[in-house]
Amino acid sequence: MRLFLASLIGAVLANAPAVMACEGCKEPSSVAGGGGVDGISLGFSASVIFMLVMVGSILSGFAWMMAKSCRQLDAAHRAAATQTNWSP
């Protein structure tokens, strides 16, 4: 049983780099005949950049909305404070 488990773990670890590589990294970069590896790599790079830009824009939007809400609340509190502190 130990020999079987050791063999199984050894087989999995021997193939780990190939299994964990992305599609752009599995294929060789120099394919004879103008394969589509450059297109695949460019597609993955573009998708990663797109996802990073989307996360940044969403976080920037949240920060802008929070700042705008804080400014509106501050203006409302100031207006309410000036209305209640008057003396006849």
With b for 16 or more beta-carbon neighbours within 10 A and e for fewer, the 27-59 pattern comes to eeeeeeeeeebeebbeeeeeeeeeeeeeeeeee
40, 23 contact by CB (below 8 A): yes
Each domain of the chain, given as residue ranges in start order, spans 55-81
52-86 pLDDT, tens digit each = 999 999 999 999 999 999 999 999 999 888 877 66
Instruction: Express each pLDDT in 16-37 by its tens digit.
Output: 666 566 665 655 555 554 555 5
Per DSSP, the three-state class of 87 is: coil
pTM of this prediction?
Answer: 0.51
What is the pLDDT at residue 52?
92
